[in-house]
Amino acid sequence: MRIKWFSLVRITGLVLVLTYHFFQKKFTGGFIGVDIFFTFSGFLITALMIDEFARSNQFKLRAFYRRRFYRIVPPLFLAVLLVIPLTFLVSADLRTDIGRQIAAALGFTTNYFEIATGGSYENKFIPHLFVHTWSLAVEMHFYLVWGALAWLLAKISRRFQPNQAFNRFRLMLGGLAAVFALGSFLAMFIGAGDLQEFSPVYFNSLTHSFPFFVGSILGVCSGIRHQLPKFAWLTKHGKPILAISLMSVALIGLVSLGYFMKFDHLLTYRGGLLLATSLAGAMIYGARWLHERTPNTPEPFWMGFLADVSYSVYLFHWPLYVIFSRLMANWAAALLTTILSIALSALSYYVLEPVIAGKAAHVFNYEWRWQQLRLPVVTVGVVLASLTGYSAITAPKLSSLEQNLWISGIYQDVDKVATTRDVVLAATRKKEQKAQAAKNQRPKGVSVIGDSVTLGTREYLGDHVANSSVDAEGNRTMNLAYDVMKTQQDQGILRETVVISVGTNALADYEKQLMKIVNDLEPGHRLILMTPYNAKAAPDWNSSKLAVLERKLPAKYPFITIADWERAAAKHPAIFAGTDGVHFSGRKAGDELYAQVINDAVKAAAKTPTKQK
C-alpha cells in the first residue's frame, strides 16, 4: 500500500540537504533535511512492523534485514565505485586516506570514524568524499537495533491471547520508542553543553537517534493500515483543507529553520533539531491524512519519481559536488551534480537494484533480468572495483596541506628547543629584565602567534618578516593564542610587536577572548590583530564578526594596529582556487601576500605608541 503525498516529505528532506551543501552560506540550517529522513524512516519502518504483526501474528527479522540490505547496500556500492574514477580529474588530495573512508562507509561506521579523526560536518581542510554517509551509519544502527527489539517484542506478545497480542505488541513498541526518544534527546541536550564544536553529538548514533523514535511513536499511532481509533477517525473525517494546512505550516517551519538554524549554535542541539523532527512528524501525519481524504486524486508522476530516487541522489550528490566544485563555478557544479545524481539514481533504483534482488526491471516497456545484464554489470563492476582498490592502496596518507602543516610543525618544534635556551638565559637576567620592564622595554622584534594558516606559511614568514619568531598550531582558537601569549610574557621572550593571527576558528565568546589578550598584554608592547579570512564565511559567522570587532579597536587603543588579511585575501581568489577557502596550501603567491600583510602592519605599528599601562 503506497501512501500518496509521502513523496512530498522525502522531497522536502532532499531539497533541504542539497541546498545546504550547495549554498551553505545562505541556507545554513539545511542539514535538518537529514532529520526529516530519520523521522520518516522511523515512522515507515515501525508502521510496517505493526502491519506485519497484525497480518501474521509475527515479525520476521531475517526478512526485515534482507529488505533493508537490498534497499541500502547496492546503491551505496554503486556510489563508491562510480565516484572514485572521477577523483582523477582533480587533485590527489581528495583521495587522501580514501581507503579508510571507503571502509567506514561500507562498514556503516562513518559517523564514529569522523568523531575519531576529529572530523567536522562543516569544516574540513580537504572534505571527505563520503562524510555524508554518517547518516546512513546512524540509520543502519537504528535498523539493526530496532529490528531485533521488534522481533523480541513480537515473541513476547504472542504469549497473550490472539485478540490481545496485537495491542500488546503495539503498546510495547510505542512505549519503548518513547523511552528511547527521550533518552537520546537528553543525551544530546546534556552532551552538547560543554562543547564548542558539536560534531561529536551530531554524528553519534546514541545522541542523534531520537528522530527515528519520534517517527516510530507516530508510526504506532497513525501507521499505514492500522491506526489508533482517534487518529483513524480524524484521517477519515477531517477536512482535506486541514491536512493541507498542517502540511503547509510544517513545510514553512522547516524551510524557515533551514534559513536561520546554525550548526555551531548550542540552541540547535537543545531544541532546534527536536523542533525540526516535530515539524517533520506533523508533515508526515498531514500526508497520511490527506491520502485518506483524496482517494480519487493521483499523485503526480514527477513527485513519485523524485521520492523513489531520493536516497540514491543523497548518496551520489556530495562526492560529485566536491569534485565538480573544484573544476567549475559553484552554480555549474550544483547543476551538473543534480542532473548526474538523478540520472545515476534512476539507473540504480529502476534497473540495478531490482535485478540484483532477483526481480525483473521494467524500463520503457521492456523487461530486464539478471541473465541479460550479468556480463556487462559484472565486467564494469570488476573494472571499477579494481580501480577503487588501486586508489585505496596508492592514496596519500596526508594531503599536501596536511604535509605542509606537519613539516612546519616539525620546524617549529626545533625552533622551540632553541627558544628554551633563550628562556634559560632570560632567567639569569632577571634584574636586567625588571629594569627593562620598569621602562616598558621589551625584546625587539616581532612575535607571531597564529593558527593553521600561519603554520602553513611559517617557514616563509621566518625568512621574510625581520627579527621574528612564529608560534603556530592547527585549530588554534583565541583562548589558546592567549595562553601562548601569557606563557611567552612570563618567560620574558614575548617581543615588542605581537601579531595575533587567529580567528578562523572563532568561538561564540570571541569578543571576551580577544579582550583578554588586549587587556592582559603587558605594557611596552604593540599589538597587531590579523583579521581572519574564510571565503565561505557569511557576515553572521563568528570569524566575520570578529574581523569587524578587530577593526574598531585601534580607535580606542592606540597600541593596536590591524593587518587586514580578510580584505587582502578577498582580492586574490586565485590563491584559494581548489582549496577549502581558508588555507592556500603552500602556494608561493599566498606566502608572499601573507608576509606582505604582516610587514605592512609592522611598519604601520612602528609609528604608534606601545601600550602604557
Homologous superfamily (CATH) of 400-605 is SGNH hydrolase (3.40.50.1110)
pLDDT band at 438 (very low <50, low <70, confident <90, very high): very low
Percent of the chain scoring above 70 in pLDDT = 91
Q: Is the pLDDT of residue 29 over 90?
A: yes
What pTM does this model have? Answer: 0.79
Q: Please say if the pLDDT value at position 440 is more than 70.
A: no
CA-CA distances (angstroms) from residue 220 to 174, 177, 275? 6, 9, 20
With cut-offs at 50, 70 and 90, classify the pLDDT of residue 246: very high
Residue 124 has pLDDT above 90, yes or no: no
- The mean predicted confidence, pLDDT, of the chain is 88
Q: Which run of H or of E encompasses 468?
A: strand 468-472
Report the Cα–Cα distance between both ends of the chain, in Å, rounded.
77
Taking only the tens place, the pLDDT of each residue in 72-83 is 998 999 999 999
d(CA 181, CA 254): 20
Number of H helices, E strands in the chain: 26, 7
pLDDT tens, 535-580? 878 787 888 999 999 999 999 999 999 999 999 999 998 888 767 7
| Alpha-carbon span 290 to 276, nearest angstrom | 21
State the pLDDT confidence band at 417, using cuts at 50, 70 and 90: low
pLDDT in tens, 164-194: 899 999 999 999 999 999 999 999 999 999 8
**The pLDDT of residue 411 is above 90:** no
Location of C-alpha cell 512528524: 281
407 contact partners, CB below 8 Å, separation of at least 6? none
Per-domain residue ranges of the chain: 6-394, 400-605
pLDDT confidence bin for 149, thresholds 50/70/90:
very high
Mean pLDDT (whole number) for 306-326: 93
Give the residue-averaged pLDDT of 15-23. 95
pLDDT at 200: 92
Closest CA to 503 of 535, 545, 470: 545
Q: Which residue has the higher pLDDT, 59 or 117?
A: 59
Judged against a pLDDT cut of 60, whether residue 432 lies above it is answered with: no
**Adjacent-strand bridge partners of 410:** none
Going across the sheet that includes 468-472, the strands are: 468-472, 446-450, 497-501, 526-530, 560-563
Q: What are residue 447's phi and psi, to 5 degrees?
A: -105, 115
- Amino acid occupying residue 423: V
Ranges 128-142, 152-166, 191-205, 427-441: which has the least confidence: 427-441
Radius of gyration of the chain (CA): 29
The total number of residues written for the chain in this structure: 613
Joined together, the cell numbers standing for residue 399 give 594531503
Closest Cα partner for 522 from 414, 446, 612? 612
